[in-house]
Amino acid sequence: MKGYIGNILQEIDIEIDEIDLYGYDIIETSLSMVHRLQAVLNDLRTKIQTYIFPTKEDEILFFKTQKPEILGRLLFFYKIYKIETQCPNGSDEVIRNYINRELDNLTYFFNRNLDFYQYYRSHSTVYDEYYFVRGKADLRLCTDSAQFDKDPNFSTGYDYKVAKIIANEMLRIYLNKRLVKLVTNNQIEDNLQRCFKYPFRFTGKKSYLIELGYSLVSSGDINNGNVEIKEMMNFLSTIFHIDLGDYYASYIAMKERKDRTAYLHHLIDNLVKRMNEDDMKC
């Protein structure tokens, strides 16, 4: 069971690492992860119905550590989904107050569960048999676990509290970065305004910029690959105040060249040259 759950967690964390938590599609992404993690927990619940833990220590390990790691991630994405769908439209100050209230809710949970939080964080084991062995604790004392854990064969009640602690710590980081991003977005907006007021101009050949535009779209790194060539060319034209003309004709000509990606090679050569020159200065 330990190896099985370890593999599941590794797969989940790889997926999470690929997520832009502050991207424009976080609502859809978080909901998708909720469904994904619910399916994982449902499969795990089915296995546990017939699984017999070899020792009491194995059962404690499952409900104290293994299951909460998965459930905690589910609660994290579920909370992100709720926060972002309920986030008010308005000024940065309105959004900032909203996020701060969510942070206050995390503090409230911490204060309400201070004794258990200290027990868990201190790595104490004195009451593990009561907290993390089925049938020992009174599930009615953990009413907040009912939404995701109604099956007494799959929950002790306190495994939910551990998952909640894990989720809240992840959420605290998320919300604090969200506050920072409010400031960063304002700085980006200011920079864009300065770009339009004091524009950068692309002084190379138009075909170079077109080659760069096609390369960026082809990379799939802009908007997770959800961008059209026309959109990219319009963006580059606007930013650099240049009319790219018939960019598709330039693309056809590019394909017929002996060196199809001459400008990209030019960029690589000049970047490597700069790095080498910097190394020589050290």
Report the half-sphere exposure of 47 (CA within 13 A, side-chain side): 13
Residues 218 and 128 in one domain: no
pLDDT at 197: 65
Residues 181 and 79 in one domain: yes
Q: Is the pLDDT of residue 196 over 70?
A: no
pLDDT (tens digit, 9 = 90+) per residue, 197-218? 666 788 999 999 999 999 999 9
Domain final residue pick, 193, 224, 257: 193
In a domain, 201, yes or no: no
How many distinct structural domains can be found in the chain? 2
Residues 91 and 139 in one domain: yes
In a domain, 163, yes or no: yes
Which pLDDT band, with edges at 50, 70 and 90, does 40 fall under? very high
Torsion of CA 245, 247, 252, 253, to 10 degrees: 60
Domain final residue pick, 132, 167, 193: 193
pLDDT (tens digit, 9 = 90+) per residue, 73-102? 999 999 999 999 999 988 888 999 999 999
Considering all CA atoms of the chain, what is the largest pairwise distance in Å, rounded to the nearest integer? Answer: 75
Give the predicted TM-score (pTM) of the model.
Answer: 0.67
Average pLDDT, the chain: 88
Instruction: Kindly report which listed range (83-92, 97-106, 135-144, 256-265) carries the lowest average pLDDT score.
Output: 135-144
- Per the structure block, which two tokens stand in for 188? 């980006």
Q: Is the pLDDT of residue 144 over 60?
A: no
pLDDT at 195: 62
Average pLDDT (180-187) is 74
- Nearest Cα residue to 232 out of 241, 245, 242, 222: 222
Residues 151 and 230 in one domain: no
Residues 216 and 161 in one domain: no
pLDDT at 157: 86
Q: Label residue 259 left, alpha or beta by phi (over 0 means left) and psi (-120 to 50 means alpha).
A: beta
Domain final residue pick, 193, 219, 236: 193
pLDDT at 70: 95
pLDDT at 118: 94
Residues 15 and 73 in one domain: yes
In a domain, 200, yes or no: no
Q: Is the pLDDT of residue 190 over 70?
A: no
In a domain, 25, yes or no: yes
Which pLDDT band, with edges at 50, 70 and 90, does 117 fall under? very high
Residues 122 and 184 in one domain: yes
Question: What domain range is 63 assigned to?
Answer: 2-193
